[in-house]
Amino acid sequence: MTHNQYTLESPSAPRRTRLRELWQLFRENKLAILGLIIFVLFFMTAVSGVILTSGQRPVFDPAMVRLQEKLLPPLTRPHLESLHPTEVPTLGIYLFGTDDLGRDVFARMLQGAWVSLTVGFVAVGISVLVGIFMGGIAGYFGQEYICLDHILIAFILSAGGTLLSIGSIGSGSACLGVGLLCIVYRLFSKILGEKLQSPGLLHKKAISIDTIIMRAVDIMLCFPSFFLILTVVALVPASMYNIMIVIGLTSWMGTTRFVRAEFLSLREQDFVTAAKALGVGNFRIIFRHMMPNAVAPVLVSATIGIATAILTEAGLSFLGFGVPPPHATWGNILSDGKRFIFDAPWLTFIPGIGILIVVLCFNLFGEGLRDAMNPKLRERG
């Protein structure tokens, strides 16, 4: 009774925080919990995998070639008499069999797990960062206009950069100098107020920032994504980092649209006006006040983006691009094994099922998160 009176009379914060509430809703979704558990397991496997398979004398050597032991099915014991003591697999058994060079598939899967994990996370990290940055600018500063003189300065600077990279140092640095002078001049005129005013034509409003960013999104969406990634990956030198960067830089458009839409509605809300009235700086408003409120749909799309990135990386490895050969990835184990598909089906099925399970867990987790964040469901809880 007294407790009831207390809650009625004093205005207090909700007893459960938002995160707690989210977790309660999320817990009801069994598939999503399964996804979360598999994700944690996969994460631990990948981290222990990179520790156990790297270094001078790794515990599991993914590159150890034993030609006399090739294409052994899973769970076979090695022929101890024909092997050098250092060549015997650590577990004393080929857990996942061996491939056509007699390499231990279990060790190779461990090594490949790390590639899948990092490619997924770093690529999505890049795309989310770019997406939040572009979307935030488009949503928050979208109504500002770019004037002709900005374009002019940008043009001079980029021309200078191009000339420098081509090799004509004289004219290049001249252009860069002129551009920098213009920027300094603009900054000065801003500080000194309206006294130093350049001609009126240059201050004509040309195009809004929102338009520029959204048209850039449209342009990027015109490219067929897998084909674009394939083209760029084939042209740049093969390495894991290039793949991450390329996947990240070709998948930020969705996040940009989400964040922009959220920001457009958030910037009209009272707490933003209040923060502005208190004199909080623009970037503090964006990152401290608005971003936490806009991050929910980004989180969901990022989780599903990780799944897509892992699939893309596997596809690239399968086609023979990507991480260079001695290093194992799940895609290239499968691609190497496809020649022995009828004799050694485990070379296809083990990495294939591995990819399937990991991608599935990210998809289930992301969908569970989306359901839990759905306001229609939240009111019930």
Partner 1 sequence: MVSFIGRSMVQKTVTLFFVSIVSFLIIHLAPGEPSQVDPLNPKFTPEMVERFRKEFHLDKPLYVQYIYFYRDLFTGKIVSWKDNQSVLIKIWERFLNSLPLFIVGTILTWTLSFPVGIRSAIFRGGLYDRSATFLSYLLISIPGFFFAYILIILVVTTLHVPVIGMETFGLGASSWGNMLMDRIWHLLIPSVLGATGGIAVLSRYVRSQMLEVEGQDYVRTARAKGLPPDQVHYKHALRNALLPFVTMFGLILPGLIGGSVIIESIFSWPGMGRMAYEAILARDYPIILTVNFISAVLVLAGTFISDILYLVVDPRIRL
Footprint of partner 1 on this chain (CB under 8 A)?
A: 31, 215, 218-219, 221-224, 226-228, 230-232, 234-237, 307, 311, 314-315, 318-319, 331, 334-335, 338, 341-342, 345, 348, 351-353, 355-356, 359-360, 363-364, 367
Q: How far is the CB of 348 from partner 1 (least distance, A)?
A: 5
Burial 244-276 (b: 16+ CB within 10 A, else e): bbbbbbbbbbbbbbbbbebbbebbeeeebeebe
Identify the three-state secondary structure at position 11. coil
Q: How far is the CB of 146 from partner 1 (least distance, A)?
A: 16
Q: Which two tokens stand for residue 337?
A: 């094994």
Q: How far is the CB of 271 from partner 1 (least distance, A)?
A: 31
Beta bridge partners of 98: 104
Instruction: Extract the runs of DSSP E, i.e. beta strands, from 226-349.
Output: none
Identify the three-state secondary structure at position 171. helix
Q: How far is the CB of 154 from partner 1 (least distance, A)?
A: 15
Q: How far apart (Å, rounded) are the C-alpha atoms in residues 73 and 226?
A: 34
Q: Which two tokens stand for residue 118?
A: 């990092």
Do 233 and 321 contact (CB within 8 A), yes or no?
Answer: yes
Identify the three-state secondary structure at position 76. strand
Q: How far is the CB of 367 from partner 1 (least distance, A)?
A: 7
Q: How far apart (Å, rounded) are the C-alpha atoms in residues 254 and 298?
A: 9
Distances (CA, A) of 75 to 61, 68, 195: 17, 17, 83
Q: How far is the CB of 74 from partner 1 (least distance, A)?
A: 17
Of 263 and 318, CB closest to partner 1: 318
Of 94 and 321, CB closest to partner 1: 321
> Which residues lie closer than 8 Å to 230 by C-beta, 6 or more apart?
316, 319, 321
Of 152 and 341, CB closest to partner 1: 341
Of 68 and 374, CB closest to partner 1: 374
Of 217 and 286, CB closest to partner 1: 217
Q: How far is the CB of 147 from partner 1 (least distance, A)?
A: 20
Of 117 and 355, CB closest to partner 1: 355
Of 90 and 231, CB closest to partner 1: 231
Of 286 and 328, CB closest to partner 1: 328
H or E segment to which residue 169 belongs: helix 169-191
Q: How far is the CB of 365 from partner 1 (least distance, A)?
A: 11
* Burial classification of residue 132, based on how many CB atoms lie within 10 Å of its CB (0-12 exposed, 13-18 middle, 19 or more buried): buried
Of 238 and 275, CB closest to partner 1: 238
Q: How far is the CB of 141 from partner 1 (least distance, A)?
A: 22
Q: Which two tokens stand for residue 236?
A: 């740049």
Do 225 and 250 contact (CB within 8 A), yes or no?
Answer: yes
Q: How far apart (Å, rounded) are the C-alpha atoms in residues 174 and 160?
A: 7
Burial 6-37 (b: 16+ CB within 10 A, else e): eeeeeeeeeeeeeeeebeebbeebeebeebbe
Q: How far is the CB of 357 from partner 1 (least distance, A)?
A: 8
Of 31 and 52, CB closest to partner 1: 31
